[in-house]
Amino acid sequence: MARDRGEQNREWYATYKDDVKKEGKGFFPYAMLHDTIMGFVVVLVIIGLAIIWYWDADGVEPGVLGPLYTEPADPGTTDFVPRPDWYFYFLFYLLRIFEWPETVVIATVGIPTVLLILLLGLPFYDRSRERRPSRRPVAMIAAVLTVISMGVLTYKGATATEALGSELIVLVPEWAEEKGFADNDNAVEGARLFAVSGCLNCHIYLGSGVGALGAPDLSDVGDRYDQETLVRYLTNPAEFGNTVMGSYAYLGQENLNKLATFLDASTSDDG
Amino acid sequence: MAKRKTRRQQIVDLAVLAPLDWIDERTGAVRGTKWFLFRNVPRDVSWAQTLGFATLIAFLTQTLTGAILAMYYKPDPNSAYESIEHITNDLTLGWLVRGMHRWGASVFVILLFLHMGRVFLFGAYKYPRELQWITGVLLLATGMLMGFTGYLLPWDQTAYWATVVGINLNGTAPFAGPWLAQFLSSGPEIGGDTLAKWYALHMLLLPGAIFALIGVHLYLVTRLGVVSPPWSKEQAGRERPVAEPTGARAGLVRRGTEGGAK
Amino acid sequence: MSNPRHDTPHSSGPSLWPIGFAIGVACLLLGLVLSWMIAVLGAVLAIAFGLLWARDVTRDVRGDVPEIAPETRVVADELAPGAVPQHKPLPAYPRSKFLEASLIGLTGAMGAVLTLPVLGFMVLPSFTNIDEDEVDLGPLDNFPEGEYVIATYLKDPAQGEVTRRTAFVRNNGQSEAGDPSFTILYSRCVHLGCPVQPNGPIDEERRIELKNAALLPVLAQSFGCPCHGGLYDAEGNRTAGPPVRSLDRYTFSIRNGRLILGELFAVGSVSGTGANARISRYPWSTPGVHVDGVEAWLYPIVPSQVTG
C-alpha cells in the first residue's frame, strides 16, 4: 500500500530529528563558533570598505569605491546621466532591452512580479524530497541560468554608455589626438558641436555611437568629401540622395563650417 | 551531598545564578535562551551554513549605524544634502559610521542573495521548512526595499534620479500603478514631503517588518533545525540500508517489504 | 451508512452581505477622492449592508432560529403506538457565545476607528493637497522664433529647489488664426522620468536670468534620454527607444506680454509641426503610462483625472 506524501515526509523528518539528537553536535559552542567567526569577518569587511571608500574619495571626486556623494539633487538638470545602485543594474539593463513602447510594462512590472512569485512558490512546486544537486538537474540548470543572466545583465548595466552630449563631450580631446586636429581650433570646436548635436544617436565615430537607421561610420568621412561638400551635405542631405537624415541648417552657417572642418579633418591617415 | 560549598561557589551562586533564577522564574527567559543555544545540529554542517548568521550581523550593523546616523541627519529637501556633507566631512567619525551604513547595505544585500543560493543548493526549503523559505523571500524583498528607500536620503543627483525612475517603475503597474506612484512621491512628482515619507519608511516601517520577519525566521530555524549538506555521507536523516535479520538462518527469512522492524 | 437519528438541522449558508459591505467601503474610499456624491453613496451602501450582515451573523445570538426545518424523520418502529413525538425545547444560547461575538465586534470597531483615519492621512494628502502654481517666464522677446530655449524655473519658490523643473520652449510665431504659438515640452522622459537632454550646442552667452527662472537658448531639433535610450524629434514625438507617448507639454497663456506656464498634460502624438501641430491631448499621468492605443486599457483611471 502506497503511503501518501505527508506520511512519508513526517517519517523522514522523524528520522532526521532522531539522528540530530543522537549523532549531532551542540549548536553552542561548536556551530555558533563558526557563525561568530563569519560574523566577525563580515563586520571587518564592512569597516574595511568604509575606510577604503573614505580614504580614496574626496567629496564628489570618486575613488576606487565611488564618490562620498554626488552633486546636490537638481530636479531640473539637463546634463545628468542617472544610474541606480549596483544591485539594481540588472533591472536597469532589462529596461534598456525592452526598447519598444508596447513592452515597457513587461520589464518594469511583469518580469519582476513573475520572478517574485516563482521564488515564493518554490517549495510548493518543487515538492520532491531529493536534496542532492546531482539529482535535481532542472533546478540546478535553472539556478545556473539565473545566475549567469543576472551576472550578464549586471555587467551590461554597469558598462552601458549613452550617445548623448554630456557623455561624449569629454571624448573630444581624445578624438583630436587620434585624428591629429588638436591644433586646429575650428576643427576642435566642430568636434564639440558634433558631440552635443546628437549625430552619434545614429552615426558611429571612433567606436562611440549607436549605429542606427543605416547611418555610416564617420571616423574617416574626410576621405570621401571635402569641406565645402560637407557643408552642403549638412545643409541639405536630400541633395545627395539621403532622405533619412534631416537638415542641420538650423545650426547656422558658422557652426556648419566648423562641423565640416572637423569632419574634413577626420581622415584615415591620422592627420 | 552535604559537602559545604566553597566560598567561590557561594559567590557565583549569589551573584549570577540567583538573579538568573529570579528572572527565569518570572519570565522563562533563561529556559528560552537554553532552548535556542543548547540544541543539537547535524555534526556535518558546513561553513556555507554560517551565511544566515552573517546576514543577521550585517543587518544589526545597519540597525546600529542607522540609529546613530539618524541623530545627525535632517530629512528635509533643503538641508538633507548639507547634513550628509556635515556628517561625512566635519563630525568626528561621521565618515566611518556613514561609510559602514553605506557599505553595510551592499554587504547585507550580497549576503541575502548568497544565503538564498545556499538554501537553494542544499534543497533546504523542502518539507517542513516551506514557511522558513517564504519568510526568507519576504526578507529579501524588504531588504531590497530598504536599499531602495535609503538610496534617496543623501539627496544627491544619483539618489534623486534613481528614485524618480524607481517610483515611475511602480507607476507602470496596470490599474493601480499611477495611484501607487503618486502615493510614493506624495503628489504628482517628488516634492517637499517625499523625503520625510521615505525616511519614515526606511527608519520605522520597513525595519519593523524586517525585525518581525527575522523573529519568525529564527524561531523556525530553532524549532525545525538545520539540514546537513545533501552530499554528506553521514547526513542526518539519511536512508539506512535495510537491516538484515539476525538470529535466523539466511534464506529462511524473507525480507519485509517495509524493511527492518517497524 | 447514515443513521437517520443523527440527522441535524442544516446550518445556514454563508452570507453574501460582506461583499456588499466591501463594495460600499470601496465606493466610500474612492468617493473621498473622486466626488462627495460617490462617497455618500458608498457610505449608505456600507451602512445598509453592514447592518444586514450584522443582523445575519447575530441571528443565533438573538435567538432567531433559521427557518430551516430539521431533517429528522420519525423512525417508525421507535414510536410506541399512540405516543406523541416530543418536541425538543429550543437550544439556549450561552453567555460565553454572546461575549465572544461582542469581543469580535468590538475589536473590529476599535481597529476600524483607529486605522481608518490614520490610513486616510497616510494616503489621501498625496491626492488632495496639490496646488499647481503658474510660472512666469518673462517677456515674449526672450524667445526667438523657431529656436528652442531651455527654461529652468522654480514651480513653487516658497518650497525651494525641490520644485525646480525644466521645459524646452519654442516660439512658433503666429498660428494660422493669428494667435501667438509656443511649443513647451516638459523635460522628463515619458518612459520612466529621466531628465531629457536637447541635442545641440547651448549658447551660454545668451543666458537670461529672471526671478526664479533662467533661459538658455539651444540649437537643437531633437532630444535624447540618458537612461534607456529614448529619442524624440523636435515636436516631442518618439523616434527611438521605449517612451510610451510623446513628451508632455505645458499649456500657456500670455499676460501683459509675458509668457505664463499653465498646467501639464500628456500627449499621445503630434502631427504637423510648430504652430500648425495637431496634438492629441490627455490628462497628465506618470511616465510610462500609455495614454492611447490598446495599452491605455491597462490604466483606465489616473489620479489627475480626478484631482484636476
Under the banding of pLDDT at 50, 70 and 90, the label for residue C84 is low
C214 and C152 Cβ atoms separated by less than 8 Å: yes
**Tell me, what's the pLDDT at C108?**
95
**Tell me, what's the pLDDT at C39?**
87
**Tell me, what's the pLDDT at C203?**
86
Kindly report, residue by residue over A185-208, the tens digit of the pLDDT. 888 888 888 888 888 888 888 888
Cα distance between residue C278 and residue A35, in whole Å: 68
Please indicate whether, in this complex, the C-beta atoms of C226 and A80 are within 8 angstroms of each other.
yes
Question: Regarding predicted confidence, which is higher, A65 or A87?
Answer: A65
**Tell me, what's the pLDDT at B259?**
45
- Across the interface, of B47, B81, B134, the residue whose CB is closest to A120 is B134
How distant is the alpha carbon of residue B150 from its chain centre? 18
Choose, out of C145, C199, C233, the residue to mutate when testing the contact with A (most A CBs < 10 Å).
C199
In chain B, what residues touch C130 (CB-CB under 8 Å)?
187-188
Which residue from B158, B201, B198, C227 is spatially nearest to A107, judged by alpha carbons? C227
| Mean pLDDT, chain C, whole residue set | 85
Which residue from A168, A190, A183 is spatially nearest to A252, judged by alpha carbons? A190
Q: Which of residues 59-118 of A touch B (CB under 8 A)?
A: 59, 65, 68-75, 77, 80, 82-88, 91, 104-105, 108-109, 116
Kindly report, residue by residue over C229-253, the tens digit of the pLDDT. 889 999 999 988 899 999 999 999 9
Within 10 angstroms of residue B233's Cβ, the number of other Cβ atoms is 7
B127 and A69 Cβ atoms separated by less than 8 Å: no
For A62-177, where are the E strands, in sequence order? none
Of the listed ranges A111-115, A186-190, C77-81, C249-253, the one predicted with least confidence:
C77-81
C199 and C222 Cβ atoms separated by less than 8 Å: yes
Query: What's the angle, vertex CA B186, arms to CA B182 and CA B188, rounded to 5?
Result: 45
- Across the interface, of C219, C220, C298, the residue whose CB is closest to A105 is C298
Q: Would you put residue B46 in left (φ > 0), alpha (ψ -120 to 50) or beta?
A: beta
Cis before residue A82, ω within 30 degrees of 0? no
User: For residue C244, what is the DSSP state?
Assistant: S
Identify the three-state secondary structure at position A93: helix
Kindly report, residue by residue over C202-222, the tens digit of the pLDDT. 888 899 999 899 999 999 989
Cα distance between residue C191 and residue C228, in whole Å: 8
| A95 CA: distance to closest CA in chain C (Å) | 7
**Tell me, what's the pLDDT at A242?**
86
- Structural domains in chain C, sorted by start: 4-93 (no CATH), 135-307 (2.102.10.10)
Query: What's the angle, vertex CA C175, arms to CA C174 and CA C180, rounded to 5?
Result: 50
> Which chain A residue lies closest to C214 (C-alpha atoms)?
A76
With a cut of 90, say whether residue A67 has pLDDT above it: yes
**Interstrand relation of C231-233 and C238-240 (parallel, antiparallel or unpaired):** antiparallel
**Tell me, what's the pLDDT at B258?**
46
Mean pLDDT of A255-270: 85
| B202 CA: distance to closest CA in chain C (Å) | 15
Residue partners of C239: CB distance under 8 A and separation at least 6: C222, C231, C232, C233
Mean pLDDT of A28-49: 96
Domain segments of chain B as ranges: 47-154+207-223
Mean pLDDT of C188-206: 91
Query: What's the angle, vertex CA C280, arms to CA C279 and CA C284, rounded to 5?
Result: 110
Please state the CATH superfamily assignment of the domain spanning residues B47-154+207-223 in this structure.
Answer: Cytochrome Bc1 Complex; Chain C (1.20.810.10)
| B64 CA: distance to closest CA in chain C (Å) | 27
**Tell me, what's the pLDDT at B261?**
43
C260 and C198 Cβ atoms separated by less than 8 Å: no
With a cut of 90, say whether residue A170 has pLDDT above it: no
Alpha helices (runs of H) in chain B, residue ranges in sequence order: 7-12, 18-27, 29-37, 51-69, 80-85, 94-122, 130-152, 157-171, 177-184, 194-200, 206-224
Cell readout for C2 is 447514515
Element of type H or E holding C1: none
- Structural domains in chain A, sorted by start: 26-71 (no CATH), 82-160 (1.10.287), 165-265 (1.10.760.10)
What pTM does this model have? Answer: 0.83
With a cut of 80, say whether residue A103 has pLDDT above it: yes
> Which chain C residue lies closest to B189 (C-alpha atoms)?
C286
Task: Tell me, yes or no, if A55 comes closer than 8 A to chain B by beta carbon.
Answer: no
**Tell me, what's the pLDDT at A1?**
44
How distant is the alpha carbon of residue A146 from its chain centre? 17
Please indicate whether, in this complex, the C-beta atoms of A108 and C288 are within 8 angstroms of each other.
yes
| B77 CA: distance to closest CA in chain C (Å) | 6
Please indicate whether, in this complex, the C-beta atoms of A69 and B231 are within 8 angstroms of each other.
no
Question: Regarding predicted confidence, which is higher, A260 or C58?
Answer: A260
With a pLDDT cut of 70, the percent of chain C lying above it is 85
DSSP notation for C203-237: -GGG-EEETTEEEEEE--SEEE-TTT--EEETTS-
Please indicate whether, in this complex, the C-beta atoms of C162 and B164 are within 8 angstroms of each other.
no
Mean pLDDT of B138-164: 95
Q: Which residue has the cell 540597525?
A: B63
In chain A, what residues touch B115 (CB-CB under 8 Å)?
none
Query: What's the angle, vertex CA A231, arms to CA A229 and CA A235, rounded to 5?
Result: 115
Within 10 angstroms of residue A27's Cβ, the number of other Cβ atoms is 21
Please indicate whether, in this complex, the C-beta atoms of A69 and B124 are within 8 angstroms of each other.
no
